[in-house]
Chain A
């Protein structure tokens, strides 16, 4: 009998703790499939962030390190510089990467650090119950913008891919989304390419993944997918910003 579906080896056989409809689980699966396909589980070290995925070190079969809030790119730098032959990835949310960890991500990127960052943009702080993130949309209601995010009070959503694309050290930058099967497949292709870019020693690679947070958005999983399409896609343009045609 042909196997049509199986759990990737790089993903441990344990229940995930995420809320129903949360897309972190999909991202974990995609990363694991890529690690399997590239055959790099034994030579990969992952860095977990502070956020809802703080303990995703329990879910990946490769060696894992937990970093303090926003510092994953610095921790990954330390690991990668000590182990130049290994593969290192960070997994970070939008609060972790684009607020408290802005300096670390920008400088890891501009140094062309040979790491891969998986950046989950759900437009909100999940772990700490729904505060405004740097990526929160204008007029979006959060627990710290109860009247909606206002540009004059709270500033504008930050566009991480566009910002990092200005840096010479970056080799591969792509924004993807998880709102349907086609886009999930694109997300996987981008993640794979990002890892391949690292394996080829080309420099820093990052994939920004538009994701949902039904619990903190106050929507059911289906509504959340729809909200992402209607509200996030117009603000966060999907596509490749750098390294599309890079030979790897």
Chain B
């Protein structure tokens, strides 16, 4: 294996992007993700890359759109209020079928909210926060090591499907220092980009990148193609961790940093003779429906824990489809749920 370092989550995202071949970064400062930009600002000029501090998140995502048109690997990062501003561009990226990586290190909302961690942008990320029928591939790491691995993978997936791919983390992950082990060589998959607008060189017909067609039949055919692509992604790209689920009295659904807390709760519960499992979606879209379907047949109860007022729980309920009760526990405003709170909730559900 390669180098093992102690690094901050946000810096690992930037380093991972560079290792994945990203040489173009456009962003606008916002806490708690600004270290991504600081790292890029330092490194990019040294490796022939581009770091550009845009005038707004709106401009940054449109720069991403432009760079993506040329076929290069490109990334932007922000936090909740900034991601709201990027939604126009994210929808255009979906419509024009461009590969791009968008990082959201979530903070508490709504509005200006606060700078402490939250998971209130789940709906925005997985249900298409911008206009039109589109999806982003959404990856939810739960450790600094996974921030690294999934950021590299995000670039491969974005290129493979020509899709906007989001890393959805929260302030805890972005700010935490943890050991990360880098590989000697990354698995960079190269995809032919003959659609790119990088100059005809008078050797081919012009390429056009657009998301508009005023002919409804043509526009519908584009939409059907998108839906077809989304179906393929749903079939092939689901990632999930099932932990301690077999024979569990109750299964908790949690993603990102909350899933780490739940793993500790599982140990606490074990000492009290309660068997708790965890389903941790790693792809939030596509959602690991099968895991929930499978355990819904045999598990007495589900509990979804989020740093939100209850968002992913809707997808859990859809997947469980009434076969078992699904409860919810959440904190908002930047408050991280404690292990004890979660354990108490589990016990109250199981009448223990």
Contacts A66-B212, A71-B58, A75-B66 given; does A42 touch B198 at CB 8 Å: no
Is B54 in the interface zone, CB < 8 Å from A?
yes
CB distance from B63 to the nearest CB of A (A): 4
- Residue in A closest to B202 when the chains form the complex, CB atoms: A42
| B66:A77 contact, CB within 8 angstroms | yes
* A42, A63, A86, A107 pick with most chain B CB within 10 angstroms: A63
Is A103 in the interface zone, CB < 8 Å from B?
yes
Cα separation A86 to B58 with both chains bound (whole Å): 24
Is A176 in the interface zone, CB < 8 Å from B?
no
Is A78 in the interface zone, CB < 8 Å from B?
yes
Contacts A82-B50, A82-B72 given; does A76 touch B199 at CB 8 Å: no
| A78:B200 contact, CB within 8 angstroms | no
| Stretch with Cβ within 8 A of A (4 or more), from B31-39, B110-118, B203-211, B218-226 | B203-211
Q: Can you list, as one digit per residue, whether each of B28-64 has a CB less than 8 Å from chain A (1) or not (0)?
A: 0000000000000000000000101011101110111
Is A99 in the interface zone, CB < 8 Å from B?
no
- Cβ–Cβ < 8 Å partners of B208 in chain A: 57-58, 63-66
CB distance from B321 to the nearest CB of A (A): 39
Of the residues A43, A55, A57, A58, contact of B199 by C-beta under 8 Å: A43
Is A33 in the interface zone, CB < 8 Å from B?
no
Q: Can you list, as one digit per residue, whether each of A15-56 has a CB less than 8 Å from chain B (1) or not (0)?
A: 000000000000000000000000001111101100000110
- Cβ–Cβ < 8 Å partners of A61 in chain B: 200, 206
Cα separation A80 to B65 with both chains bound (whole Å): 12
Contacts A62-B206, A68-B88 given; does A45 touch B63 at CB 8 Å: no
| A103:B59 contact, CB within 8 angstroms | yes
Cα separation A61 to B207 with both chains bound (whole Å): 9
Cα separation A58 to B72 with both chains bound (whole Å): 24
| A81:B52 contact, CB within 8 angstroms | yes
CB distance from A45 to the nearest CB of B (A): 5
- Residue in A closest to B56 when the chains form the complex, CB atoms: A103
Is B346 in the interface zone, CB < 8 Å from A?
no
Of the residues B72, B96, B198, contact of A66 by C-beta under 8 Å: B96
- Residue in A closest to B209 when the chains form the complex, CB atoms: A65
Cα separation A75 to B93 with both chains bound (whole Å): 12
- Cβ–Cβ < 8 Å partners of B198 in chain A: 45, 63, 83, 86
Cα separation A207 to B202 with both chains bound (whole Å): 26
- The number of A-B residue pairs with CB atoms under 8 Å apart is 133
| B89:A68 contact, CB within 8 angstroms | yes
Is A74 in the interface zone, CB < 8 Å from B?
yes
| A55:B200 contact, CB within 8 angstroms | no
* Interface size range of chain B in the complex: 35 or more
Of the residues A58, A77, A78, contact of B68 by C-beta under 8 Å: A78
Contacts A62-B200, A86-B198 given; does A78 touch B69 at CB 8 Å: yes
| A79:B59 contact, CB within 8 angstroms | no
Is A162 in the interface zone, CB < 8 Å from B?
no
| B63:A75 contact, CB within 8 angstroms | yes
Cα separation A104 to B200 with both chains bound (whole Å): 27
- Residue in B closest to A75 when the chains form the complex, CB atoms: B66
Is A60 in the interface zone, CB < 8 Å from B?
yes
* A57, A76, A81, A106 pick with most chain B CB within 10 angstroms: A81
Is B348 in the interface zone, CB < 8 Å from A?
no
**Of residues 62 to 110 in B, which have CB atoms within 8 Å of A's CB atoms?**
62-70, 72, 74, 88-89, 92, 96
| A78:B24 contact, CB within 8 angstroms | yes
- Cβ–Cβ < 8 Å partners of A62 in chain B: 199-200, 206
CB distance from A79 to the nearest CB of B (A): 4
| B206:A74 contact, CB within 8 angstroms | no
Contacts A57-B208, A71-B89 given; does A79 touch B69 at CB 8 Å: yes
Is A67 in the interface zone, CB < 8 Å from B?
yes
CB distance from B151 to the nearest CB of A (A): 20
15 CB < 8 A contacts A-B: A41-B202, A43-B201, A45-B70, A60-B206, A61-B200, A62-B200, A66-B212, A68-B62, A68-B92, A75-B62, A76-B66, A78-B69, A79-B70, A83-B198, A83-B199
The chain A residues found within 8 Å of chain B, CB to CB, are 41-45, 47-48, 54-55, 57-58, 60-68, 71, 74-83, 86, 103-104, 106-107
Known: A42-B203, A57-B206, A61-B206. 4 other contacts (CB 8 A): A42-B202, A64-B210, A78-B67, A82-B72
Closest 8 pairs (CB-CB, A-B): A78-B66, A74-B62, A66-B210, A63-B197, A78-B63, A75-B66, A78-B67, A42-B202
